[in-house]
Structure 1
Amino acid sequence: MIRETLRPLSWLGIVRLGLVQAALGAIVVLTTSTLNRVMVVELALPAMLPGVLVGLHYAMQVFRPRLGYGSDLGGRRTPWIVGGMTVLAAGGALAAVATAWMATWLLAGIILAVIAFIMIGIGVGAAGTSLLVLLAKRTAPERRSAAASAAWVMMIMGFIVTTLVAGRALDPYSGGRLIIVSSAVSAIALFVTILGIWRIEGETLPNERLNAAPREGSFSKELKEVWTEPKVRRFAVFIFVSMLAYSAQDLILEPFAGAVFSMTPGETTRLSGVQHGGALTGMILVPVINMLMPSWRMQTRPWIIGGCIASALALFSLALAALVGPRWPLQLSVLMLGITNGVYAIAAVGAMMNLVGAGHREREGTRMGVWGASQAISFGLGGLLGTFVSDAARHILSSPSLSYALVFTAEAGLFVVAAYLAFWIGEPLAKDNTGSSMTLASHAGSTT
């Protein structure tokens, strides 16, 4: 079988794919942060409702391996990226309409929200999986560290710009204003995606076309064979546990700030901007330190472990904030959480980019889909558990502060478990199809 040879992306190409990542994140951040805040605070609905809806959108991403397999079969990632973003943009606009409806027609609003979040999940799965594969395959190994950082920094910048601009545009709040803001964000994100991806995948050597690996069996057979690769299983378990810790606060942070610190919708949306600004700082910190200390470039695992432990400490700080109340420096705690999450995330994504092509055959889309599905299921379960524990504890303890503190403390414990699991990432991996033994450590030079 002839392995594909691709012209590495230029820095401009890497930045363009980063813009696509930013566009994807801009839509998602409104649906997972702002809309759930509106449901819980402005509409006085149970936190379980947005928890179930966001969990549904993550549940749809269980199809990521199948979507990645489809892009492997066709050998083209662009149609899956553009098509996925189109579905995502439509779902983001419908979700805002559904939320506005809930104020006057609750049942209809919930039904439309279910449809919208299904679309969001499918769109993210299709676009996100193929985008990561394309970035990993088209980036030269020596540039993957910078590429991972650039893509995620641009995504966080998209979060920041979206939350800050949308936060100001949403005050004073109204259902109509919510629909206009969300629809505008979706339209702009789709436009940016088309510009960013335009002709990127066509940058191959004239005599070397993408040669998709021949498929002799069904998708289920391919998936089983991918799962037999030890590196896939180990990394999937680590991703599941760490993302469970990462996501459980996602749906309760803004409601927490509103209930305990009496913040307005615009203020809590801007608080999310503080968190994402911290994540941006953490993501920049890793490659900067590696540039100053070249000997660290081969060390991926310490960054991941350190990021997990530091994230646990930041979440414990938020638990104390819930108990102390308005006197606590909330923004500082949220900023610290963002920075530590950013360090962990950029190291984990870099490792993923290096491992995606290290298997027995060209199954990059399927392999990335497995890890994406693990992340998505964990995110959905984390959001659902976070809101469920928060609601249950509030009824049992009769104190919102104690219920939020309980969730943040549990998340801190999960990050400690993830740090322990991260030690296994450095174990020897399966041999690739050239017969050479691989370990994550040997590939980390292009990761951090």
Structure 2
Amino acid sequence: MKIGTFHIGSSFVDLLTSGVLNRVLISDLNLWAAPVALLSALRYLLAPLSIWAGYRSDTRPIFGMHRLPYIWAGRLPMLLSLPLLPVITVMLAADPNSILAWTLAVFSFMIYGVGTLISGSTYMALVRDTAPPERRGQALSIVQIFLIVSFPIAGVVYGLMMPVYDPGTFWVITLTGMGIAAFCFFFSLLGEERPGQSIVADTPTEHVPFPQLLREMWADRRTRLFFVFMALGAASAFAQDAVLEPFGGQVFDLPAGDTTLFNAYWGAGVVLSLLTTVFITRHRQAHEQTGTTIIGLVLTALPLALLGFVSLTKAEILLIPTLFLFGVGFGIYTIGAVSLLMAMTSDSRAGAYLGLWTIAQLLFRGIGIFLGGVIRDVAYIITQSYTIAYASVFFLEAIGLFACIILILKVDVPSFARSVGNVRTPAANLAAAVD
């Protein structure tokens, strides 16, 4: 739980870049969604860095440590890039076509993205390394819950601090987010790895050249299919990421404070379903969670389709319940997918495999975010209707998630788990923590 507080900091800085800033630029400053979505997607489009960072942390310790130097090498630039966000909004408010403003925006998001990718897979590897083999699924689940629970909390905090966009207030919430994140990063990582401590001694890393390692991993059909499953799921589940809050502003005329709370509504559903799911599945092993994943996919896709209907009919009364239901499905899907991800990871190549799955999630999450903005803009140009534009995004997301069900049924996760010795890894669960 201590190391999981790392993700409290992650949620506070991520919401600034993926939620608050997008709302301000698209809805309050009335910029096109596609370039704003591309900014949000930039960090994810650099995702191949994550597998390189994971491989380096497996094979090239720095100051006698495998993980912490790489994590801090990513998190510090992330924090230092954030003060540019309020500057960018002021410059774009004065001139939406300012080359300098867009250059600063690209620079800020590139630095933020590189930092995220260098530290993301190495942090996951640290969590896995520091947990006993029989508790790794549980450990990853607890850490994931910290991330998901923190997003609605951050949304409430930012919504209360800035109910209506104001440049001065945006400065305040940016500095507040930076401070909270810096404290959480330091507290969570303190003492988790010491120089000379061999955290991977029980499963020595194979020193295979990086290109050869990639070829060996990709040669397995199960790895390829699981990669496609993770990629399509990430693109489909997050295509609304850059347009959800602008959707509330442009379809229902809601102020910034109200749309920031969207994260709290769907986050509450996530928390409820996460806790319920881990209790129900607490005796299942990680490779036995395909059924849980399919249920989660269905229950995530249906609310997205309903959200498209809400947009078309402007049925505001259904908006909050639909967001809550989306969170419920997403929580179930998360538990299932995280468990399968752990089963599809080799002990001796944990950093590399987790880097590969990070690519699948982040790269295609970024592609999904960008496509969400493009679909919204193209649909609006064709129809001149915000309701149809946003509904198009939600309906296509639902179709993509239904397609993921076919893919996961083709992946033989149990056989992969047996081949790498992961069949004894428990399913991700919280209930075991108090057994």
Query: Which of 218, 228, 235 lines up with 1:244 in the alignment?
Result: 235
The percentage of counterpart residues that share the same residue type is: 26
> Per the alignment, do residues 113 and 414 of structure 1 end up closer, same or farther by CA in structure 2, a change over 3 Å counting?
same
Shift of 1:56: 1.1
Shift of 1:207: 11
The unaligned stretches of length 5 or more in structure 2 are: 430-435
* 8 Å Cα contact 1:301/1:425 also seen in 2: no
Q: Which residue of 1 aligns with 2:305?
A: 316
Q: Which residue of 2 aligns with 1:306?
A: 295
Query: Which of 406, 428, 431 lines up with 1:447 in the alignment?
Result: 428
> Per the alignment, do residues 231 and 183 of structure 1 end up closer, same or farther by CA in structure 2, a change over 3 Å counting?
farther
Deviates more, 1:420-429 or 1:57-66: 420-429
> Per the alignment, do residues 214 and 340 of structure 1 end up closer, same or farther by CA in structure 2, a change over 3 Å counting?
closer
Whether 2:22 is the aligned partner of 1:40: answer no
Q: TM-score w.r.t. structure 1 length?
A: 0.88
Shift of 1:146: 2.9
Query: Which of 218, 230, 243 lines up with 1:227 in the alignment?
Result: 218
> Per the alignment, do residues 443 and 423 of structure 1 end up closer, same or farther by CA in structure 2, a change over 3 Å counting?
farther
Whether 2:151 is the aligned partner of 1:146: answer no
Shift of 1:21: 2.0
Structure 1 residue identity aligned to 2:167: G
> Per the alignment, do residues 20 and 320 of structure 1 end up closer, same or farther by CA in structure 2, a change over 3 Å counting?
same
Partner Cα separation in structure 2 for residue 299 and residue 100 of structure 1: 51
Deviates more, 1:59-68 or 1:330-339: 59-68
Q: TM-score w.r.t. structure 2 length?
A: 0.90
Query: Which aligned pairs between 1:246-325 and structure 2 lie closer than 5 A?
Result: 246-291=237-282, 294=283, 299-325=288-314
Structure 1 residue identity aligned to 2:215: K
Shift of 1:199: 1.3
Query: Which of 101, 112, 126 lines up with 1:109 in the alignment?
Result: 101
> Per the alignment, do residues 439 and 257 of structure 1 end up closer, same or farther by CA in structure 2, a change over 3 Å counting?
farther
User: What RMSD in Å do the two structures reach over aligned CA positions?
Assistant: 2.4
Aligned length: 423
Partner Cα separation in structure 1 for residue 232 and residue 138 of structure 2: 26
Shift of 1:411: 0.7
> Per the alignment, do residues 208 and 341 of structure 1 end up closer, same or farther by CA in structure 2, a change over 3 Å counting?
closer
Partner Cα separation in structure 2 for residue 129 and residue 208 of structure 1: 15
Structure 1 residue identity aligned to 2:38: V
Whether 2:154 is the aligned partner of 1:172: answer no
Partner Cα separation in structure 1 for residue 189 and residue 353 of structure 2: 22
Shift of 1:216: 5.1
Q: Which residue of 1 aligns with 2:17?
A: 31
Structure 1 residue identity aligned to 2:22: N
> Per the alignment, do residues 439 and 344 of structure 1 end up closer, same or farther by CA in structure 2, a change over 3 Å counting?
farther
Shift of 1:113: 0.8
> Per the alignment, do residues 314 and 250 of structure 1 end up closer, same or farther by CA in structure 2, a change over 3 Å counting?
same
Partner Cα separation in structure 1 for residue 197 and residue 55 of structure 2: 24
Partner Cα separation in structure 1 for residue 295 and residue 19 of structure 2: 27
Q: Which residue of 2 aligns with 1:372?
A: 358
> Per the alignment, do residues 407 and 367 of structure 1 end up closer, same or farther by CA in structure 2, a change over 3 Å counting?
same
* 8 Å Cα contact 1:429/1:439 also seen in 2: no
> Per the alignment, do residues 295 and 198 of structure 1 end up closer, same or farther by CA in structure 2, a change over 3 Å counting?
closer
Structure 2 residue identity aligned to 1:134: L
Query: Which of 125, 137, 140 lines up with 2:117 in the alignment?
Result: 125
Deviates more, 1:89-98 or 1:23-32: 89-98
Shift of 1:438: 5.3
Q: Secondary structure at the match of 2:242?
A: coil
* 8 Å Cα contact 1:389/1:403 also seen in 2: yes
> Per the alignment, do residues 86 and 267 of structure 1 end up closer, same or farther by CA in structure 2, a change over 3 Å counting?
same
Q: Which residue of 2 aligns with 1:10?
A: none
Structure 2 residue identity aligned to 1:269: T
Deviates more, 1:106-115 or 1:246-255: 106-115
Deviates more, 1:100-109 or 1:309-318: 100-109
> Per the alignment, do residues 296 and 223 of structure 1 end up closer, same or farther by CA in structure 2, a change over 3 Å counting?
closer
The unaligned stretches of length 5 or more in structure 1 are: 1-14
Structure 2 residue identity aligned to 1:137: D
Q: Secondary structure at the match of 1:437?
A: helix
Q: Which residue of 2 aligns with 1:9?
A: none
> Per the alignment, do residues 209 and 102 of structure 1 end up closer, same or farther by CA in structure 2, a change over 3 Å counting?
same
Whether 2:68 is the aligned partner of 1:86: answer no
Q: Which residue of 2 aligns with 1:137?
A: 129
Partner Cα separation in structure 2 for residue 438 and residue 174 of structure 1: 54
Partner Cα separation in structure 1 for residue 60 and residue 195 of structure 2: 17
Structure 1 residue identity aligned to 2:337: A
Shift of 1:443: 5.0
Partner Cα separation in structure 2 for residue 231 and residue 175 of structure 1: 49
> Per the alignment, do residues 50 and 212 of structure 1 end up closer, same or farther by CA in structure 2, a change over 3 Å counting?
farther
Structure 2 residue identity aligned to 1:342: G
Q: Which residue of 2 aligns with 1:5?
A: none
> Per the alignment, do residues 301 and 153 of structure 1 end up closer, same or farther by CA in structure 2, a change over 3 Å counting?
same
* 8 Å Cα contact 1:248/1:385 also seen in 2: yes
* 8 Å Cα contact 2:160/2:257 also seen in 1: yes
Q: Deviations over 1:100-141 (max 9, x none)?
A: 321124332211110111111111111111111111222224
Q: Secondary structure at the match of 2:205?
A: coil
Shift of 1:298: 6.6
